[in-house]
Amino acid sequence: MAMTVSKCHQNGQDCHERTDQSGLGRCLVQEVNADSPEQRKGKSKENGITVQLPATGRNTNIIMSLTALTSAYRLRTLCRLQRIQGRMMSSQVDSGVLLEKVGCAGVITLNRPKALNALNLPMVQHIYPQLKKWESDNETDIVIIRGAGGKAFCAGGDIRAVTEAGKVGDPLAEDFFREEYTLNHAIGTCRKPYIALIGGITMGGGVGLSVNGRFRVATEKTLFAMPETAIGKTDQLLQLLGGWGAQNHMSGDDVVSRGKECRKERLRFLLGLFPDVGGGYFLPRLQGQLGLFLALTGFRLKGRDVQRAGVATHFVESEKVPTLPGCSKVRLSLSCCWCEVRAAGARSTIPELEKELVDLKSPSAEDVFRVLDSYQNQSALGADKPFVLEQHMSDIDRLFSSSSVEGIVQNLKADGSEFANTQAKTLSRMSPTSLKITYRQLQAGAALSLQDVLVMEYRLSQACMRGCDFYEGVRSVLIDKDQNPKWNPSTLEEVSEESVEQCFSSLGEKDLTF
């Protein structure tokens, strides 16, 4: 661990900053030159150090008055405190998530920017207990969750690890889904206003971390989809990231590299699965048959359309939403001083929205709503363009209103329009079993509570672990990489109602409980 002393970019004063092996830099103290004892007394709080030990789950404040100490003693004290903090933060850094208290807010930062903040089990295990603690903490009024790096909120979950565990009977195949869904339930029932800033790619596990909460804020960079039933083709992934990358000025090589990273991170949308993490609850509650359409086709929504569809509650231009730069040379803590943010090259992304949220005094959900509304009203980007599916909403309601997936496919083929033909072709590439499970999941979920939906989805996740399409999807994408999965059964007609019904059967004492 190294200590540097440099001029603060914010006010020109000396700024002690440490850098540990994690690459985390933090402005720990700013020296204030008081002209009188009265001034020094008034600034004693500024001259103190508050060190938070987030990894322990306990907020421990060590406040020391440094007014009368020599500079040398200050430096030694800072080094000791930094060593303590560095050790206690190491488990958070290793787990890929930062948990901090900023003002009235508990802040969760998904901190794996190189992996598009893909969700793994250690991240879930760190977030859940802290969320429950903040919920019962009288000094925490709101919870904010965001992704580092600016390219993704969270692009999915670690499915290959689950697959490998399932093949050998390792309990990870149960633990991952059980703990992830438990976290989704905690988010959905959190008594404090929960605000998800979903800038960038938001899919799979990232959807569960956001849509189950009270507030979801999309930006023009948001890319949302629930394409778990989709065939795992690399060209689909690169097409998805290519459009998003062009919007965000990524080079072709960067898009390909990002696609490879996504594949390594085992994103769910590469496989034949079902839209879980509460998808069975929120998708049927979208307008008309829109939720079923999104679930079966994996259609992608971008920017303001995410809010228009009802997935996000608000749309705010990204310049008003904070961004932590994601690069290998610097990783930032959310509570760092803005001299550090500017030094990392983030001068243009002023965190106006987040600052106003954390500065609220004992805010209610209505207070948060008013703040988000005010920022949305100031965001004119894309307001003049219609909803991407506006001209097709009546078609979606008509074509996807059927008592079976086979009926939907027949409707699409009989319609013959370009839109219908595109959707029919898309469905023909999906896992037939996944399509039928997804249809039944959403039909049932429309009448269930979030808790009951998650219990149902846990049963489905374990059924996928017992089935063959899940492993075939992994084989075709991650092992043999032939991008040509052989679904079994291979047609909708061959998937019996009995086999689908079995996927929804109780697991007895192994059922998910809350």
Instruction: List, by residue number, the catalytic residues.
Output: 157, 205, 228, 276
Asked if residues 229 and 296 have their Cβ atoms less than 8 Å apart, the reply is: yes
Cα separations in angstroms, 464 against 44, 61, 168, 175, 473: 59, 46, 15, 14, 11
Inter-helix orientation angle 159-168/172-188, to 10°: 140
For residue 20, count other CB atoms closer than 10 A to its CB: 18
Listed residue (275, 295, 276) closest to 286, CA to CA: 295
249: left (phi over 0), alpha (psi -120 to 50) or beta: left
Residue 217: its H or E element: strand 215-218
User: Nearest 10 degrees: CA dihedral of 207, 209, 211, 214?
Assistant: -170
The answer for residues whose C-beta is within 8 angstroms of residue 370's C-beta and 6 or more apart is none
For residue 71, count other CB atoms closer than 10 A to its CB: 11
Residue 26: its H or E element: strand 24-30
| CA 148/CA 325 separation, integer angstroms | 7
- What are the φ and ψ backbone dihedral angles of 302, each rounded to 5 degrees? -130, 145
Q: At 94, list the tokens.
A: 């290793």
The answer for residues whose C-beta is within 8 angstroms of residue 422's C-beta and 6 or more apart is none
- What are the φ and ψ backbone dihedral angles of 8, each rounded to 5 degrees? -70, 130
Question: Which 3-state string (H, E, C) describes 438-449?
Answer: HHHHHHHHCCCC
Beta strand 105-110 with 301-302: parallel, antiparallel or unpaired?
A: unpaired
Listed residue (8, 87, 43) closest to 336, CA to CA: 8
The answer for residues whose C-beta is within 8 angstroms of residue 435's C-beta and 6 or more apart is 229, 296, 405, 427, 492
Asked if residues 130 and 107 have their Cβ atoms less than 8 Å apart, the reply is: no
Q: Is the dihedral of CA 35, 38, 42, 44 positive or negative?
A: positive
